Structure 1
Amino acid sequence: MRLTVLVPGGSGQLGRDLAALSSGSVDVVAPGSAELDVTVTGQVLAAVGALAERARENGSAPVVINAAAYTAVDAAETDEERAFAVNADGPRVLAAACASRRVPLIHVSTDYVFSGDASEPYEPSDELGPRSAYGRTKAAGEDAVLGSGASSWVVRTGWLYGQSGKNFVKTMARLESSRETVSVVDDQVGGPTWTADLASALMELAGRVASGDGPERRILHCTNAGAVSWCGFAKAIFTHLGADPARVRPCTSAEYPQAATRPAYSVLSPASWREAWLTPMRPWEEALEAYFRAQ
């Protein structure tokens, strides 16, 4: 089946990897926020309308994958109004536009909607308890999408890194070249996810959704498999850089205070993705190795 996919947030690291999947059978339109601001209703309505028309003209199935998000976690603590506009109001308008045009919507969310008090991987049905403005606004966005009447799916992920934009892997690479040692928190555990792998997974889901075979479960979890602390992740990055991982020193969250509280444990269970008969994500260690090979 041919697809025409609109990706709001196309200039972000996930959006760019989704755009890179454009091919003979997949037509990806990935506008950045300067071209499509999801907080501007008129722009959203026009973009979804244009998507539906473009798909009709080229005989393909339209799908929206919403990668637009306010992701400055600490800044959101003092700028929650703007974060809410992008993370909640924008998805609400986008979902309404998709519902009116009968275009399916896949909305990308985050592990930060959970409290982090768990001791085993979170399932989609687990109770939410965000501890930051970012998490609260993303949780509100999930509710807006799922309550819109649109044919919609929410895909939660976390700890993203890619070839473009700012991310933890790039930060560690920069610090490795400028500092003798680096202190990294060792009491926050999650699942690092390469955006190239996530983009492929979302496109697979888009194909299923467009064919009318979308998963019955409307919330899915998708990260590279496995779990690690930020400190453990940093050590793995140093190793790939050819640096001594012992130069990464563990510290506690209390020793590295930040404006926003992060969940101590935000590992997402892969069961929902697997049970939907979608391709399982490879381990985070293999994804990180592939990321560095792609440099």
Structure 2
Amino acid sequence: MSAIDTLPPLREVIATHGLSAKKALGQNFLLDLNLTAKIARQAGDLSDCDVLEIGPGPGGLTRGLLSEGARKVLAVEKDARCLPALEEIAAAYPGRLQVISGDALKIDPLAYLTPPIRVAANLPYNIGTELLVRWLTPPEWPPFWQSLTLMFQREVAERIVAQPGSKTYGRLAILAQWRAEARIVLSLPPEAFTPPPKVSSAVVHLTALPEPRYPADAATLSRVVAAAFNQRRKMLRASLKGMAPDIEDRLISAGIKPTDRAEQVSLEQFCTLARLVAT
């Protein structure tokens, strides 16, 4: 019998510690341990990895990650009410779970982790996108992480994997797909959570590429893509006119029609344009 089987059910843990989910913290607890183990398996072989988990709450996914063999889990939790429940898990898995109390946006997890590192989390909805953008835009590439296995609202997940021509295609898709392989690996209905959110959720698995898919300066690409999608209804010759006085010529050189709109432009074309704008 594994250690996870000796711990009480999550509903009992929540009742014991008075852990009603707080909307202000973006909390929706996933209580089905079969589901949390399934999510943990999407992160791949964890036996030789340290795993960073943000917002573990009562520890459902934490238990899944540990039972699936993670070498170590670093759990960062802002809600002090959850700490006693997490300490019970730490006691069941001696030396393999470290819990840090604090704000994930302000803590440097690398001080506590040893490579190789994977990230797996049911991210609090209110900081999920911000954390993802940070992980995708480090000063140097490859990043500290090998892969990210993250739960988002379904709409955010679809934006991450979106392709040109779709309504969900935008800055997040460019950011994710430029430097990573991104795919939706699991979908979850609202009733899987306590309390049920108003929307469905999905788990996205991102694997870091050794180098960006196409050459481009990160800052220039970010600037071009932001300008294009900030005015996505405009033709690119209008939305990008501040990039260069001869922007129409540069668009044409990149294989882009000046009358195209941002959602019609592929990642490769954006990277080509970024190189032309940088010259």
Task: Give the structure-2-normalised TM-score.
Answer: 0.27
- Structure index of larger Rg: 2
Higher relative contact order (CA 8 A, sep 6+): 1
